[in-house]
């Protein structure tokens, strides 16, 4: 057969057709495989979606139950401790009123002539002798109920950041490790150049990384140190303060001296078991700064909501001399999302 005057072998046409049919078979097979893979992935996504929903629903129930349990324990502790204290305060109030009445009576008698002074004096003196001052109820100031949220520290570690120490800000008495992750207070003062950036006389050092937005979390191993201070401060905070250390003015610091208190509010909060590792969480936009025991996840202290502005820096202070350093922990997984705004 001829086409356009040129020979065209029948065999070549059939061979091309066979090739195309084979290609079609492969295409249909690939299409079926792709559709099967797509359907499988859809099932996997849906299964994982259900897992996520179920897990978070379980977590919400767990948190709700834990919330109710803690609130119940707080209420029980309140009912156990406060009524005796209130009764004691009421008794002391009554005693104060009786004493005031007797004092007024005696002062009045002192103004009387001798004959009037002696009248019924024995009864008055007897009532004075009968007054026995009862001291107030003594209760421990350590609360038994600890705010511990299951899984909270693990969730906060999502915002972990790689914090290192800035030697240019370190007080001359502080000794930093070569990797800039540990600090201790030595016995001798080093000869270092003075500058506005360097803390002196305060025994402090700042983190190198600026904190200007987002959520940030870091942990510090404090071990069994008798004292330490951790938190954040403004970039422009006074580093040459000679008065009381951390007295507000751009410092948000938790200090440990056998009990916990923050620098600006003087809110004392003694705890039974000081943590060996402290987690610090900063949510810049929300104005939130909180401290946790990274060992058991319990809340140590949370500052009231604060409208942060400008650059903040992490602050570290060993306070007292000790061979045990404070060490910034390397959290598993490396830096997370904390250096970017969340």
User: Helix 10-110 to helix 121-130 angle, to the nearest 10 degrees?
Assistant: 160
* pLDDT, tens only, 99-132: 888 888 777 777 766 655 566 667 777 777 777 7
What pLDDT shows up at residue 17?
83
Assess whether pLDDT exceeds 50 at residue 338: no
What pLDDT shows up at residue 128?
72
Three-state secondary structure call for residue 31: helix
Domain ranges of the chain: 12-132, 152-328
Element (H, E) at 63: helix 10-110
Element (H, E) at 102: helix 10-110
Q: Are 230 and 316 in contact (CB under 8 A)?
A: yes
Tell me which range, 74-83, 238-247, 308-317, is most confidently predicted by mean pLDDT.
Answer: 308-317
**Lowest-pLDDT choice from 65-69, 232-236, 257-261:** 257-261
**Lowest-pLDDT choice from 111-115, 158-162, 172-176, 283-287:** 111-115
DSSP letter at 158 equals G
Q: Any idea which fold 152-328 has?
A: Jelly Rolls (2.60.120)
Q: 86: pLDDT confidence band, cut at 50, 70 and 90?
A: confident
Q: What's the whole-model pTM score?
A: 0.67
Q: Which residues of 281-316 are buried (b: 16+ CB within 10 A; e: fewer)?
A: bbbbeeebbbbbbbeebbebbebeeeebeeebbbbb
Element (H, E) at 256: strand 251-256
Q: What is the mean pLDDT of the chain?
A: 82
Q: What are phi and psi of 183, to 5 degrees?
A: -145, 140
């Amino acid at each position: 057969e001829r086409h356009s005057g040129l020979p065209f072998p029948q065999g070549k046409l059939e061979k091309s057709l066979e090739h195309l049919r084979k290609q079609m078979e492969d295409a249909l097979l690939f299409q079926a495989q792709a559709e099967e893979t797509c359907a499988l992935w859809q099932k996997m996504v849906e299964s994982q979606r259900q897992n996520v929903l179920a897990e978070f629903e379980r977590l919400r129930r767990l948190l709700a139950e834990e919330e109710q349990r803690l609130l119940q324990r707080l209420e029980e502790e309140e009912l156990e401790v406060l009524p005796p204290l209130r009764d004691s305060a009421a008794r002391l109030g009554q005693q104060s009123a009786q004493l005031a009445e007797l004092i007024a009576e005696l002062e009045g008698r002192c103004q009387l002539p001798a004959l009037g002074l002696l009248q019924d004096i024995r009864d008055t003196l007897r009532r004075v002798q009968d007054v026995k001052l009862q001291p107030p109820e003594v209760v421990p100031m350590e609360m038994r109920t600890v705010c511990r949220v299951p899984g909270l520290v693990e969730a906060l570690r999502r915002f972990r950041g790689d914090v290192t120490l800035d030697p240019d800000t370190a007080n001359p008495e502080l000794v930093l490790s070569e990797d800039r992750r540990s600090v201790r207070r030595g016995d001798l003062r080093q000869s270092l150049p003075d500058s506005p950036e360097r803390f002196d006389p305060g025994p402090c050092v700042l983190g190198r990384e600026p904190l200007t937005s987002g959520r940030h979390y870091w942990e510090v191993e404090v071990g069994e140190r008798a004292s330490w201070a951790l938190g954040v401060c403004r970039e422009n905070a006074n580093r040459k303060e000679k008065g009381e250390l951390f007295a507000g003015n751009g410092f948000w610091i938790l200090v440990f001296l056998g009990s916990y208190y923050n620098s600006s509010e003087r809110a004392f909060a003694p705890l039974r078991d000081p943590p060996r590792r402290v987690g610090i969480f900063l949510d810049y936009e929300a104005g939130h700064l909180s401290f946790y025991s990274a060992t058991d996840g319990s809340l140590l202290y949370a500052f009231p909501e604060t409208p942060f502005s400008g650059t903040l820096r992490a602050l570290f202070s060993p306070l007292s001399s000790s061979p045990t350093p404070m060490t910034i922990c390397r959290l598993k997984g490396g830096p997370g999302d904390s250096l970017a705004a969340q």
